[in-house]
Amino acid sequence: VKSIRNLNGHSIGPYRIHAGKTVPIVKGGPNVKMEEGELYAIETFGSTGKGWVNEDGDCSHYMKNFDANMVPLRHPKAKGLLKHIDQHFSTLAFCRRWLDRAGETGHIMALKSLVNAGLVDPYPPLCDTTGSYVAQFEHTILLRPTCKEVLSRGDDY
Query: Residue 51, by phi and psi: left (phi above 0), alpha (psi -120 to 50) or beta?
Result: left
Q: Convert the pLDDT of each residue in 20-54 to its tens digit.
A: 899 998 988 778 899 999 999 999 999 999 999 99
Mean of per-residue pLDDT scores for the chain: 93
Q: Are 127 and 48 in contact (CB under 8 A)?
A: no
**pLDDT for 124:** 94
**pLDDT for 70:** 87
Q: Are 25 and 44 in contact (CB under 8 A)?
A: yes
**pLDDT for 105:** 86
Q: What is the C-alpha separation between 91 and 15, in angstroms, rounded?
A: 6
**pLDDT for 31:** 83
Q: What is the C-alpha separation between 157 and 154, in angstroms, rounded?
A: 5
**pLDDT for 157:** 59
H or E stretch covering 120: strand 120-123
Q: Convert the pLDDT of each residue in 46-91 to its tens digit.
A: 999 999 999 998 999 999 999 998 899 999 999 999 999 999 999 9
Judged by average pLDDT, the poorest of 47-51, 104-108, 111-115 is 104-108
Mean pLDDT within 103-120: 95
